Structures are given as structure tokens and as C-alpha cells.
């Protein structure tokens, strides 16, 4: 059976608006299943909109001037002593310094434990018939290659709008999301950074509600009036 996933338009889509007002620096849509990347200047705010609801946006962050300095899920979680990202969470590099800060968040909690889907891990989780399903790791590799990044530059990422609870006995996994059309997360760059996002193509678990939909990225400069 062939299933067509990409829903480019639907009545329930909500493209929302920037979380933090300011001059629009960039306003782009990440098509379902596609990769995206852009440098974000210090002080600018990136608003990511979950246009169709419960659409995972897998995200990596690098220091724009030195890509060896990159997001560290472990440094971020250890510093805040909590396994979930929420409003106010500081997204840190491997040395513990701030790359970006969550300055707005409209879902209960955000994930940085679950990692990115890959063709290879799909074979483990869902069986070898899923090897040729497109995956976030493919998007990271192709989008990263534009900036000189390769497999050695991929680390544990953030999954905006994805829900990964950890139960008392350590059981963890991806369950139905807590997001909805138009929900946003907003990130302020604490220095010049490179942000890479994969609009997750996964159709074997609920991270995209089994229906990949668009993400909207809006970057504003709060220092300049809209």
C-alpha cells in the first residue's frame, strides 16, 4: 500500500505569529519531511510554530564561528537538573555555556532525550522493512553538509513538540504529543549560532501524529521595531 503523507494545506493549520515582536529577519516554512538551517544572530529570537500540531522539529545548534562548539543535551540537563526542557531552559554547549534560551513555550514540556530518527534505528524499532523511510538523520546530514558538518558533528538533539516521558522504572519512549496547531516555542540566541532543524518524517510512531505537517520558522529582531 502506498500512503501519501505530506499534507501541505489543511483547514486546521494555524501559522500563528512571532512569539516576540520585532523586525522580521526571516520567515520560512519547513515543508513536511524536509531539512532547514540558518545562522541566527545574537539577540534575535527564533519562533518555531507547530503549524499542523504534534509535529516534531528535531533541532541541533552550533556556535556560528566554531562548529566544534555545539549543543549538549547532557550539559543542558545536568545544569538545570531536570530531564525536560521548559520555558526558561538554557540550551548549553559542551562546556556549559549558553547557546540559546527558551523565552517562550506553549507546550507542557519539550524533549531532548529521544534523539533523532534514522533509517538505521528505524530498522531496530520497527523492522527492516522501514530502512528506506526518510529520517531526521538524513536531513541533518544533508543540511549539515551545507555548513561542513558530517556524522561526527551529530549529537543528541532537541525534539520540539515531541513527548518523551520517563517512567519510574526507567521505561521511556515517544507517546502522543501535547502540542496543537499554532503552538510555539521561542528561542533567543545568546550568541551567533547555526540552527539546523529536521521536520521529522517519521511515520512509524506518534511523534508526528503519523502525519508529517509543516513547521514555520520566524526570526525577529526585538531591538528593531516591527
Q: How far is the CB of 184 from another protein (least distance, A)?
A: 21
- Of the two residues 4 and 81, which places its CB atom closer to another protein in the complex? 81
159 makes contact with Zn ion (CB under 5 A):
no
- Closest approach of another protein to the CB of residue 4, in Å: 27
Q: Hey, which residues between 91 and 110 contact Zn ion (CB under 5 A)?
A: none
Spatial distance between the Cα atoms of 184 and 176, rounded to a whole number of angstroms: 17
Torsions phi, psi for 123 (to 5 deg): -65, -30
By CB under 5 A, which span of 62-70, 80-88, 129-137, 174-182 interacts with Zn ion? Answer: 129-137
Selected from 20, 60, 61, 117, the binder of Zn ion by CB under 5 A is: 117
Q: Is 122 in the site for Zn ion (CB under 5 A)?
A: no
Q: CA-CA distance, 174 to 77, in Å (whole number)?
A: 18
Give exposure, 131-156, as e/b (b: 16+ Cβ within 10 Å): eebbbbbbbbbebbeeeebeeebbbb
Among 54, 179, 202, 220, binds Zn ion (CB under 5 A): 202
d(CA 88, CA 79): 12
Q: Which is nearer to another protein, 156 or 211 (CB)?
A: 156
For the beta sheet containing 45-50, the strands, ordered from the edge strand earlier in sequence to the opposite edge, are 23-30, 215-221, 45-50, 183-189, 98-105, 90-92
Please report, as ranges, the residues that interact with another protein according to CB under 8 A.
Answer: 68, 72-75, 77-79, 81-84, 94-97, 109, 113-116, 118-121, 123-125, 127-128, 137, 150-157, 166, 168-174
Amino acid at each position: 500500500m502506498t500512503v501519501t503523507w505530506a499534507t501541505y494545506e489543511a483547514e486546521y493549520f494555524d501559522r500563528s505569529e512571532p512569539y516576540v515582536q520585532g523586525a522580521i529577519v526571516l520567515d520560512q516554512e519547513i515543508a513536511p519531511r524536509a531539512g532547514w538551517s540558518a545562522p541566527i544572530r545574537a539577540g534575535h529570537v527564533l519562533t518555531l510554530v507547530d503549524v499542523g500540531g504534534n509535529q516534531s522539529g528535531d533541532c541541533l545548534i552550533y556556535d556560528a564561528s566554531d562548529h566544534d562548539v555545539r549543543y549538549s543535551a547532557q550539559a543542558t540537563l545536568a545544569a538545570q537538573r531536570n530531564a525536560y526542557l521548559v520555558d526558561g531552559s538554557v540550551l548549553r554547549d559542551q562546556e556549559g555555556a549558553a547557546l540559546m534560551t527558551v523565552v517562550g513555550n506553549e507546550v507542557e514540556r519539550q524533549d531532548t532525550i529521544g534523539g533523532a530518527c534514522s533509517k538505521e534505528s528505524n530498522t531496530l524499532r520497527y523492522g527492516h522493512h522501514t530502512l528506506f523511510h526518510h529520517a531526521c538523520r538524513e536531513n541533518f546530514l544533508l543540511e549539515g553538509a551545507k555548513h561542513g558538518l558530517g556524522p561526527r558533528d551529530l549529537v543528541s538533539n532537541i525534539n520540539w513538540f515531541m513527548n518523551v516521558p520517563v517512567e519510574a522504572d526507567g521505561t521511556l519512549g515517544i507517546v502522543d504529543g501535547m502540542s496543537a496547531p499554532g503552538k510555539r516555542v521561542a528561542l533567543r540566541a545568546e550568541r551567533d549560532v547555526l540552527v539546523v532543524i529536521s521536520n521529522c518524517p517519521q511515520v512509524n510512531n506518534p511523534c508526528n501524529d503519523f502525519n508529517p505537517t509543516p513547521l514555520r520558522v520566524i526570526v525577529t529582531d526585538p531591538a528593531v521595531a516591527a
